[in-house]
Amino acid sequence: MFASHINLSVTQEEIEIGLLQTPKDPNMTCLCFVREIEHLQENIRHHRTSKFLDLQPTEKGEPVELDLDAYERLTILRDQEIPKRLNKENIVKLKTTWSEHGGINATDSRDYLLQLCEAFYNKMVWLIDKNLHDKYVEEDEYSRELLEVLRFRNRLSRDFLGRTELLYVVEKYVTGLAKGVPMVVYGESGTGKTALIAKCAKEAKHWLSGANPVIIVRFLGIVTNFNH
């Protein structure tokens, strides 16, 4: 056990404790981002390769060679042990190519870095939302109403299809192309007014990205036994 502990890097030890050995469900707290760099091993002599691979001195006169033991342990950890504990939704795999300027840099790897940032942000939001949805919330009338309204909005907007021309009309209004005039959505019963409003409430932050809007959503009659 002592020898095994010595062979573990600090990062791997953290993974062992926080992911592989935890009695709790790691899918509620852990995300795994896997990066594949094409042509990495072909550039093993580059002075920056050690930032991406475990290397060791060689007795054959060459400067360095791949640390096969470390590489094998990392492969097992990445391809076998972590997937046993994490669902596919918690694992993100991204691919980039070795740059002739030395691995990954802000210029040659711009698309990959943007993709990584976007994936990280989206997965973090997803994980937080997942925890908030499953976490016990104190049963008071205000928090209960809020949860009911948000669940109702999400359910309707998720099932919303078509009617892009109506969405565009509302988007134009929300983004300020029809200032100073209130908008009223009306129609006969069953024509989808509530679903349209739910979809608009869901999309409003995208329409106003950068403006940090405050969106108040309220659907009358969906919360039972609410007294105000």
Of the pLDDT bands very low, low, confident and very high (cuts 50, 70, 90), residue 7 is low
Residue 219 lies in a domain: no
Name the domain boundary from 86, 101, 132: 132
Out of 132, 166, 197, a domain closes at: 132
- 16 lies in a domain? yes
Q: What is the C-alpha to C-alpha distance for residues 168 and 23, in angstroms, rounded to an integer?
A: 49
Question: Residue 22: is its pLDDT beyond 80?
Answer: yes
* Within-domain flag for 113: yes
Give the per-residue pLDDT at 6.
Answer: 46
- Read off the pLDDT of residues 58-96 as tens digits, 9 standing for 90 and up: 776 666 788 888 889 889 999 999 999 999 999 999 999
In a domain, 194, yes or no: yes
Which pLDDT value is given to residue 169? 83
For residue 2, the model assigns a pLDDT of 37
Instruction: Tell me which residue of 93, 90, 121, 92 sits closest to 28, measured CA to CA.
Output: 90
- % of the chain beyond a pLDDT of 90: 20
Residue 222 lies in a domain: no
Cα–Cα distance for residue pair 83/89, rounded to 1 Å: 10
Residue 168 lies in a domain: yes
Mean pLDDT of 179-190: 74
pLDDT of amino acid 5: 45
Computed over every residue of the chain, the mean pLDDT equals: 79
The boundaries of the domain holding residue 92 are 2-132
Regarding pTM above 0.75, the answer is no
Residues 196 and 178 in one domain: yes
Pair (158, 105) in one structural domain: no
Residue 91, SS3 per DSSP: strand
What pairing do the DSSP bridges indicate for beta strands 91-97 and 65-66?
unpaired
In a domain, 159, yes or no: yes
Token code pair at residue 59? 């007795």
Q: Can you tell me whether residue 32 is helix, strand or coil?
A: strand
Buried/exposed 197-218: b ≥16 CB within 10 Å, e otherwise:
bbbbbbbbeebeeeeeeeeeee
Report how many domains make up the chain: 2
What per-residue confidence (pLDDT) applies to 1? 37
Domain co-membership, 7 together with 111: yes
The pLDDT score that the predictor gives to residue 3 is 42
